[in-house]
Amino acid sequence: MPACFSPLNETEGVLFVHVQPNAKKNQILGELNGVLKIRLNAPPVEGKANVALLRFLSEIFKLPRSSFHLLSGETARQKRIKIQATDKPSFQNLLRQLAKINEGI
């Protein structure tokens, strides 16, 4: 289990991320010191980077956008994202994808 993710139950967990806004492109750089480092091409104004982050995570983990909720860090680079998978298989797939990111794949 990657250190950047803390499961809450069989279908939910919290993802700890560090966001770098205004990047050239959206990309996951990997896990560092217990957080998932993510670059976003959105500016950090009026919540645009937060919206872009949740949309990007939705695309990466192939879950509906409604599965992602910002718990803390609305105006900070360090954020906590609650992820609610639709079912156990979706959650297991999320865990596998996080493990691959953690391995540097």
Domains in the chain: boundaries: 5-103
Second-level CATH architecture of 5-103: 2-Layer Sandwich (3.30)
The CB-based long-range contact list for 96-105 (8 Å cut-off, 24+ gap) reads: 97/60, 97/61, 98/1, 98/2, 98/4, 98/5, 98/15, 99/1, 99/2, 101/2, 101/28, 101/30, 101/31, 101/36, 102/2, 102/4, 102/30, 102/31, 104/30
The per-residue pLDDT for range 12-47, each reduced to its tens digit, is: 999 999 999 999 999 999 998 999 999 999 999 999
Confidence grade of residue 104 (pLDDT, cut at 50, 70, 90) = low
The pTM score is 0.92
Phi, psi of 100, deg, nearest 5: -65, -45
